Amino acid sequence: MPLHLPQLSRREFLRRAALAGTAVALAPAAYAELAGKLRDQNTFAFFSDAHVAADAALQHGGVNMADNLAACVRELAAWPVAPAAVIVNGDLAFKFGLPADYATFGKLIAPVRALAPVHLSLGNHDERENFWQAFPQDETALAALPPKQAGIFASDRANWFLLDSLDRTDHTPGALGAAQLAWLTRELDLRRDKPAIIVCHHPLDITGLLGLQDSAALEELFARQRQIKAFIFGHTHDWHIKTHASGVQLINLPQTAYPFKTGRPSGWVRATLARDGMEIELRALDPKHPEHAKVQQLNWRPM
C-alpha cells in the first residue's frame, strides 16, 4: 500500500512535531530553509528497507537502523534542491510491523515532510492494519483492491505506479494478486502518453521463494506495455541495476538499514528523469564506499 503524505505547511509541521514531542522538531528558521528550497520537478529520492524498531537504540547486525535512517534524512535535507517527491519503498518496520515501530519511523521521517511529499509502501516486515493507523491525520484514498492498496502519481516526465506486494507479515515472498494486476493493466492502458515507472517492494523471482510469486504475470505486462520503462524494488538489501530481457530497467534500491552481505552499501538513491531516460546516483552512508556518488545514465527502451 502506498500512503501519500503531503508536504506540510510550516504551521502544521510545527504543530504535529510539538504534539509528538519529537526531538526532530524544526525551529521556524530551519523549517523555512527546507521549505524554501528550489524544487527540481524531475528529481526523486528513494529510501528502502528502513527496518525501524520502536526502540530507536536497537541494533541489528551491528547497525543502528534509526541512526541510519536519520543520517539519510539529514543528507537529503542538506541537498541543494528539494526533490519532487520522496518514496520509501517498504519494510518501514523492523520485523513484525508493530504500532510503536511506525511511531518511531514517523518521527525520524518528519523533517522530510517539510521538504517534499512522501509516498510510503509496504514490505514483508510491515503489518497492513498497523500501517494504516500510523498516520491518522493524513487521508489516503484506498483503491478498490482489498486488502491491498495501490497508488499512482504523475510527474512531468513519467507516471508512477506504486504497488503493494505484502503477502503475509514476516513471510519472505511477496505477491501482487490477480485484482492488483488487473488494476495495473487497466491503469497502464489509460496512460500510454508517458513513460511508466513501477515501484514495488519485492523483486522479480521466477521461483517465487524470495520475491514476487506472480513474477511471470508482471513480466508479461513488461512485454505488452511498452511504456513501462523501469521497475524499482527493494527487499534484497543490495544495490544494483540490470536490464530485463524486455528492455525494462531493473533498479534494486539499497537499504537504509543493514546489508545482508558484507561490503554492500547502505544509503539512499537520487534519480533525475530526462525525456528518454534517468540519471541515477547512489548516496552511500559510507562516503568512502566505491559506489558512493557514482552516477549512471539509463536509457528507456523504445516504444
Task: Residue 56: give its domain's CATH number.
Answer: 3.60.21.10
What's the DSSP call for residue 86?
E
> Which ranges of the chain have pLDDT less than 70?
1-2, 16-35, 139-144
CA dist., res. 262 & res. 291, Å (int): 14
Q: What is the pLDDT of residue 24?
A: 47
Crossing angle of the two packed helices 215-224 and 178-189, in degrees rounded to 10: 10
Q: What is the pLDDT of residue 135?
A: 85
Q: What is the pLDDT of residue 23?
A: 45
Residue-number span of the structural domain to which 200 is assigned: 3-299
> pTM to 2 decimals?
0.93
Q: What is the pLDDT of residue 1?
A: 52
CA dist., res. 65 & res. 49, Å (int): 10
CA 117 to mean position of chain CA atoms: 12
- Please compute Rg for the chain using Cα positions: 18
Quote the cell numbers at residue 37. Answer: 528550497
DSSP string, 36-62: TSPEEEEEEEEE----B-SSTT-EETT
User: Looking at the 3D structure of the chain, how many domains does it have?
Assistant: 1
Query: What are the tens digits of pLDDT across the range 36-71?
Result: 778 999 999 999 999 999 999 999 999 999 999 999
Three-state DSSP at 159 gives: strand
Q: What is the pLDDT of residue 114?
A: 85
